[in-house]
A and B are shown apart, each in its own frame.
Chain A
């Protein structure tokens, strides 16, 4: 448990929340807020995927499909039916969850990791192709534009605007989602459900012999994971306001998110957050060298798998604490 969550997980979330409250008051330009907004959205995406990939131990490779489903479902409904994005993002999450449970069924029948990886990958490819082929509805690879941003909110006389160009509002939405999702997920994982997930990861047969209903729990985890990823996709859609099937469900999205999770730490609760932060910021710094971004992601995945398979989150606890203890001792002496 300690290994997965670190020492004080709730305190860590509180610290993140405080940091995020402080950020808008810092003298940062809109561009920095934009990068941080993307980081928060991708961190939620990565955390949702990590639930099946790392915490449940099912090596799924198709979660970018749920991101795309959440994004397109919310975008299409709000565009065509004029429903407020504040409502349609939940619809996106629910539809993604249903898709997650549906694709969960074939996976229940499979125990071999390669099968799971390929089925989920094939599923994501189907989703991408369907989105790009339904041109009358989604405009295919030309891109679906005209997605409404979140409706403005008026609190005590000040109106908060959302969407690109309104950096503060979008950052606030992403930050609330980030804190909310991580807090709720941590509460879920710290309860009996979390223990059950870890038991399934560490030994399916043993867990089953102790009365854990494997099928139901796996479907539940798939649903929750897909819902989180779908929600992040929906918020992304109403932030960037244009979607193409390749940008949300293509191989680049798979690689980017996989890199975030692996660099951060597969199966560590906070790992994907670190990974998302590091990679979102570094890929922005590399913006002028656009072609090198995927080269960097590929190289990072290989390097971390070889040198630090537990990721950034796995590196910290021992070495950091020891260094802190070492640093604090002379301080006490004075």
Chain B
């Protein structure tokens, strides 16, 4: 592998890794605070894809405005999802499986619903950033570089909120012990809703960044959901920082594996790696403090 090729491989790995990190860290945030696996997370990504299509392409709004509207809308939907479906189930004794089953049902319902509303065709969103960056011999479209930069920025902001603000302290306290948090006056229920909104916002960011590259379709969330879950487990269930690191790791593993095996095998390698890690280290690679 030549030097240029190696650099490109690594950068491509980091770019797809940043999407996995955006999706996985949102799932990890939810899991860390509520112990819920949200199987409808991929459909939040899909819906955000259709929103950005609507705002930026159909309505022709400026990118910043379209992106902001998409993020706000998807955060509201995320909060609504938690309020309407997950919060009532959490009161049950067998909630862990009920929530998994209900979100799986919701996920397929939203996919088929999107298919009925918007049809089966794959709809393209034009590149937001044009041109190709040339550094030495490495050539990289600005759109792909923007994915990495924006993802890092958004996750950085989330990290700052989690670890440096009062809201973050409240979220982390709820994650450690929801009952104890309630006892010191933290409204745990509202915190759960906020966490779902933030997580939906992260998925929405992923959707905006991805939509020009993979086109918008009803099933765009499916493959990213399982990758997101893989990231959550590799990162140590519920660790935000761990999930971000694991997301980049998974992206790198995939892009490097493509250099050795045909690309249709890269997912096999990624999931086999996941099962191997769980067998050897059930607590994940980067297990640490919660949330």
Contact = CB atoms under 8 A, between A and B. Distances in A.
Interface of A: 59, 61, 103, 105-106, 109-110, 112-115, 117-119, 121-123, 125-126, 129-130, 132-133, 251, 255, 258-259, 262, 266, 291-295, 297-302, 305-306, 309
The DSSP consensus for interface residues of chain A is helix
B113 A106 contact: no
Contact of B275 (A113, A123, A255, A259): A123
B104 A258 contact: yes
Given A114-B35, A258-B104, 17 more contacts: A106-B275, A113-B100, A114-B37, A121-B226, A126-B271, A129-B264, A130-B268, A251-B108, A293-B112, A295-B116, A298-B107, A301-B102, A301-B104, A302-B109, A305-B98, A305-B102, A309-B94
A118 B225 CA distance: 11
A118 B107 CA distance: 16
15 contacts: A59-B97, A105-B279, A106-B278, A109-B278, A118-B274, A133-B264, A258-B104, A295-B112, A295-B116, A298-B105, A299-B109, A301-B105, A302-B102, A302-B109, A309-B94
Interface string B195-222: 0000000000000000000000000001
Contacts of A305: 89, 98, 101-102, 105
Contacts of B176: none
Contacts of A105: 279
Contact of B101 (A112, A118, A121, A258): A258
The DSSP consensus for interface residues of chain B is helix
B279 A122 contact: no
Contact of B98 (A118, A255, A309): A309
Interface residues of B, number: 45
Nearest to B102: A305
Nearest to B112: A295
B37 A117 contact: yes
B50 interface: no
Contact of A121 (B229, B264, B282): B229
A115 B264 contact: no
Given A126-B268, A126-B272, A291-B116, A298 B108 contact: yes
Contacts of A106: 275, 278-279
Contact of B226 (A125, A132, A297, A300): A125
Interface string B267-287: 110011011001100100000
Most buried by B among A259, A298, A299: A298
A294 B115 CA distance: 11
B69 to A, nearest CB: 27
B101 A301 contact: yes
Contacts of A291: 112, 115-116
B59 to A, nearest CB: 27
A115 B222 contact: no
A12 B226 CA distance: 40
B89 A294 contact: no
A110 B267 contact: no
B224 interface: no
